[in-house]
Structure 1
Amino acid sequence: RVLEEEITAYLEAGTYECTDKRNGYRNGYKPRTLKTRVGRLELMVPKDREGRFQTELFERYQRNEKALTLAIMEMYIQGVSTRKVKKITEELCGLEISRSQVSHLSKGLDEEIALWRSRPLKKAYPYLVVDARYEHIRSGFHVTSQGILLVVGISEDGHRELLGVWHADSENEQSWTDVFRELKERGLKGVEYVVSDDHSGLV
């Protein structure tokens, strides 16, 4: 139905409609396959005689699917179980996404985060701002409260950059030692000042 409405708007006339505004004529259909994360959809896309009609359905779907994928990842990060994510997408979107597909999407996110966390630090950061907070973290099939250690670097030109995020059972000296050792291995250099709260593991 969406495709029919698209070509009607493009031709400015419905099937067999007589109007001075008509911009062309229909010329049958052509098969197209729309690949989605929940399977393949076989569609019959209408054509016009001049061959100029191009549907926007595929582009719109890709944008919507990207938004849905980000929403699923956000729910998973916030500790929503794969079973509940599956139920939410079915009720709101009418899409049957399996628990394994939710886990697969989240695995892809984990890989991207791993690349970001291990990226080399090529600039000098004279100033570091370090802090810790507690968040609910998914660990296996459980969600627990864990410490999150953050380090923000300020470069010589004043640009702020989040250098890394780590989760730890506590904010002890060993946890922060591991953080700074990893930053040094990634190329951290030029540090002159470190700003932090009165964390027992830092002072």
Structure 2
Amino acid sequence: MDKQEPQFSKDFFKQFKNKEEFQSFFNNLFKQGVEQMLRAELDEHLGYEKHSSEGRNSGNSRNGSYKKKVKTDTLGDLALNIPRDRNSEFEPVLIPKGQRMSDKLEEAIIGMYSRGMTTSDISDQVKEIYGVDVSEGTISNVTNRITEHVKSWQNRPLEPVYFMVWMDGIVLKVKQNGKYINKCIYLVIGLKNDGLKEVLGMWMAETESASFWMSVLTDLKARGVEDILIACTDNLKGFTDAIKGVFPQTITQLCVVHQIRNSCKYVVWKDRKEFCADLKQIYGAPNRAAAEHALTTCSDKWGSKYRHAIQSWENNWDNLTSYFDFPLEIRKIMYTTNTIENLNRGIRKYTKTKIQFTDDASAQKAVFLAIMNIEKKWSMPLHNWGLVLHQYITIFENRCRI
């Protein structure tokens, strides 16, 4: 037979003048109920009820109670009287020792922190929603537990093969030796053989350099990565050599968007629109031969006025045009680092309230939580993945490890 819910008369509810009075009554009722259940637990533990003659020779007895503040999901802080025994053997199942805050509340705090809220904002929000007073220090302690998750995530084993990786860095203000300086968090996104993306890790240093990227790639290899088919990067000097030094078979593609931006630095404003239109004839060409012809035309037109801009294309030509060796579907995902730049924008969105970070750990903690939020949206493979996968298998054959 189903249990019937308790029924209360209308007169019962009339005794409360407002919701605060009802909430107070309900809190007290809940508190009394929990304490009664705890006393029943102690009776079970001791093997006899209070004032029973059976307890005279039991070897253990009740020893009053102690106050304990428990944070609940819905009722806020409750100060409970926890019964205890003389032998200190009683461990309540209902309210375990050491419990201070519910898991759901901790998850809520971490969730708010991951979305860019400050500790003071979270404290106010928790008070408003849950009716619980949580200090900023307590919130910091809760979020500091993320550090262990960051370490395990950073050291986790990786896939043996990634079809493509995008590499870039994001600069944050971090306190060091008493002053705030720019530090770069290096990020790598990998494309797996199921068409899904994942962030492979993050690494921090004061400046972005090819030598440090080599250490990043070495770390990826140590964590199980045996092969990277294609790597898309910015045009940092020495980056290509760093990749070849760790993954010699990897095809490197310099980001065309980065190249256009760098070229435009040498061009005066009134010429930029026309100059960019001519550049589009290069990177938008149907094949490498047409692109080379467009570069020659562009050089003839602008070479004398903007020599450095044109030379940059000529000097990096091989790594700028790798995508011409692939079908259109693969070209679209390899000629630009937009994938990782979108990640960086997402991280900025989640960390925009934290303009400065007190140390490396706090910066990494915030970036890690932002990444976790962003990756939740990466639940579908890349567009038209079936066709793209077929193209990869045809081009790279056994290296795909399907």
Same fold (TM over 0.5): yes
Mark the CA change 1:144 to 1:12 in structure 2 (over 3 Å): closer, same or farther. farther
What residue is the counterpart of 1:192 in the other structure?
229
- Say whether residues 1:36 and 2:71 are aligned partners: yes
What residue is the counterpart of 2:159 in the other structure?
122
What residue is the counterpart of 1:134 in the other structure?
171
1:120-179 superposed Cα distances (whole Å, 9 cap, x missing partner): 113421321111222344668865432121111112232211111112211112210110
What residue is the counterpart of 1:13 in the other structure?
8
Q: Alignment partner for residue 189 of structure 2, among 124, 142, 152?
A: 152
Distance 1:140 1:36 in 2: 38
Counterpart amino acid of 1:156?
Answer: N
What residue is the counterpart of 1:163 in the other structure?
200
Mark the CA change 1:134 to 1:155 in structure 2 (over 3 Å): closer, same or farther. same
What residue is the counterpart of 2:112 in the other structure?
71
What residue is the counterpart of 1:48 in the other structure?
none
Distance 2:123 2:235 in 1: 47
Q: Alignment partner for residue 110 of structure 1, among 126, 147, 151?
A: 147
Distance 2:234 2:34 in 1: 62
Shift, 1:12, TM fit = 4.8
Structure (1/2) with the larger helix percentage:
2
Counterpart amino acid of 1:30?
Answer: G
Shift, 1:188, TM fit = 0.8
Q: RMSD of aligned C-alpha atoms?
A: 3.6
Which runs of 5 or more structure 1 residues have no equivalent in the other structure? 1-9, 18-27, 45-60
| Contact 1:136 1:144 (C-alpha < 8 Å) held by counterparts | yes
Shift, 1:113, TM fit = 0.9
Mark the CA change 1:195 to 1:67 in structure 2 (over 3 Å): closer, same or farther. same
| Contact 2:166 2:188 (C-alpha < 8 Å) held by counterparts | yes
| Contact 1:119 1:186 (C-alpha < 8 Å) held by counterparts | yes
TM-score (normalizing by structure 2): 0.34
Shift, 1:16, TM fit = 5.3
Shift, 1:189, TM fit = 1.5
1:92-141 superposed Cα distances (whole Å, 9 cap, x missing partner): 44344344423322321111011101001134213211112223446688
Counterpart amino acid of 1:188?
Answer: V
Distance 2:147 2:70 in 1: 23
Distance 2:204 2:219 in 1: 13
Aligned residues with identical type, % of pairs = 21
| Contact 2:77 2:133 (C-alpha < 8 Å) held by counterparts | no
DSSP 3-state at the match of 1:31 = helix
Mark the CA change 1:173 to 1:35 in structure 2 (over 3 Å): closer, same or farther. same
Distance 2:178 2:33 in 1: 46
| Contact 1:73 1:105 (C-alpha < 8 Å) held by counterparts | no
Mark the CA change 1:12 to 1:69 in structure 2 (over 3 Å): closer, same or farther. farther
| Contact 1:73 1:106 (C-alpha < 8 Å) held by counterparts | no
| Contact 1:124 1:190 (C-alpha < 8 Å) held by counterparts | yes
Counterpart amino acid of 1:68?
Answer: I
Which runs of 5 or more structure 2 residues have no equivalent in the other structure? 13-28, 36-67, 82-101, 241-402
| Contact 1:173 1:200 (C-alpha < 8 Å) held by counterparts | yes
1:34-86 superposed Cα distances (whole Å, 9 cap, x missing partner): 8339x962469xxxxxxxxxxxxxxxx754552233224555xx7x5xxxx24
Q: Alignment partner for residue 202 of structure 1, among 223, 239, 247?
A: 239
DSSP 3-state at the match of 1:110 = helix
DSSP 3-state at the match of 1:156 = coil
Which has the higher Rg, Structure 1 or Structure 2?
2
Mark the CA change 1:72 to 1:188 in structure 2 (over 3 Å): closer, same or farther. same
| Contact 1:152 1:161 (C-alpha < 8 Å) held by counterparts | yes
Distance 1:98 1:65 in 2: 13
